[in-house]
Amino acid sequence: MEDQQRWSDAGQKITFIPKLSQVFFNLDGHVRSHYQIQGKDGSNRLVLICLGLLNVVLLITSVVLGVNCAKVREGSFHVSHSAVAPIISELNYLRSNHSDVIEAKEEAKNTLERAVKNHTQLKEKIEKQKTINDNYQKQVEELQKELIDLQSNMSAMEGTCGRCLPGWVHYNSSCYYFSVIESSTIKKNWPDSRADCIRRGADLIVIDNKEEQRFVSDCDENTKSEYYMFGDGFWIGLTDTKSEGTWVWINNVTEVEQRYWMDREPNNDNFGEDCGVAVYSSSNPWKTRFDASCQHEYRRWICEMTSS
């Protein structure tokens, strides 16, 4: 039992009685136990006084530590506040300017939209102006063409000294109209061709001398359109409709010259060729006539009128 007794500083013996019920094994296998201190009443009061003084010391220490911590916190707060103050000021500045930035952004957006709209309108105006310019260009080209035609007609009129209508050819004392000049595709039979000449104040050509014969032959050469000789040619004012074989000009002059007919012409082929045709002949410029059907063949024609 000696291990269970201890001596105090006052010479009092203190006995430690372990409670068996509080002995136990911990997780690492070592034995642990609690002891109850038992002693006299005087020793207990001493212990209590010591504990009370210890508590007072601890309380005073806690108060001192609390005051110091408070001071440290206050100083820390002031330090932190002084460090954060510029950041807070900058943040407030940014917040105040944020609305200005938003307004500037909206204004820039509106300005961009207006610029895009103006660009679109300007582009449409440019396209319209381009169309107008193209139309003006076409009109200018047409006017230039008309000017060239007028100059050509003026040159022709100057060449004939105003003695023939525009489009007519002057030779000696007569004016001649070649239908091919107005249209290379329009062809008529003999009666319709003569009617066209009369409508123009003229009549089908009457060839009454060798100079005129050569003139018509040369003109026929310059206006021929087909390689086949008998498919080309112009109606002239010569016919034998009243008496077969007797060729009479429309001015009632009987044609007695036979050298202007082509070989084996006139032949009255199929008993229906009663109107005269003048054509260019490369073999002989004098043999340039043959007969053809007045009603059923369609050819170009030559009109003649006296020059003014």
DSSP string across 261-299: BPTT----GGG---EEEE---SS-TT--EEEE-TTT--B
- Which pLDDT tens digits describe the chain residue by residue (308 residues)? 444 444 444 454 444 444 444 444 444 444 444 444 444 456 677 878 888 888 888 888 878 787 777 776 666 555 455 667 787 777 777 777 777 788 888 888 889 999 999 999 999 999 989 889 888 888 887 887 777 777 666 655 555 455 899 989 999 899 999 998 888 889 999 999 999 999 999 999 999 898 999 888 888 666 655 555 667 789 999 999 999 989 999 999 999 888 899 988 998 887 789 999 998 877 787 888 999 999 999 999 999 999 87
- Whether 213 is in a domain gets the answer yes
* Total domains present in the chain: 1
Q: What is the DSSP string of 173-200?
A: TEEEEEHHHH-SS--B-HHHHHHHHHHT
Using alpha carbons only, give the angle 161, 164, 166 rounded to the nearest 5 degrees. 100
φ/ψ of residue 128, rounded to 5? -65, -45
pLDDT of 218 reads 82
Look up the domain containing 221 and give its range: 169-306
CA nearest neighbour of 279 among 204, 226, 220: 220
Please tell me the predicted confidence (pLDDT) of residue 58.
Answer: 85
Considering the domain boundaries, does residue 67 fall inside one?
no
CATH of the domain at 178: 3.10.100.10
76 occurs within a structural domain: no
CB 163 within 8 A of CB 175: yes
Q: Which helix (H) or strand (E) holds 207?
A: none
> Is 73 part of a structural domain of the chain?
no
- Name 180's bridge partners: none
The answer as to whether 155 is a domain residue is no
Provide the whole-model pTM: 0.48
Q: What is the pLDDT of residue 192?
A: 97
Alpha helices (H) in the chain, listed in sequence order: 41-160, 179-182, 190-199, 210-223
Which residue is associated with the tokens 């103050």? Answer: 85
Instruction: Say if CB 208 and CB 176 are below 8 A apart.
Output: no
The three-state secondary structure class of 250 is coil
Query: What pairs with residue 277 in β-bridges?
Result: 235, 290
Q: What confidence score (pLDDT) does residue 155 get?
A: 55
Q: Is residue 243 part of a domain?
A: yes
Residue 260 placed within a domain: yes
Residue 134 inside a domain? The answer is: no
Comparing C-alpha atoms, which of 292, 267, 270 is closest to residue 279? 292
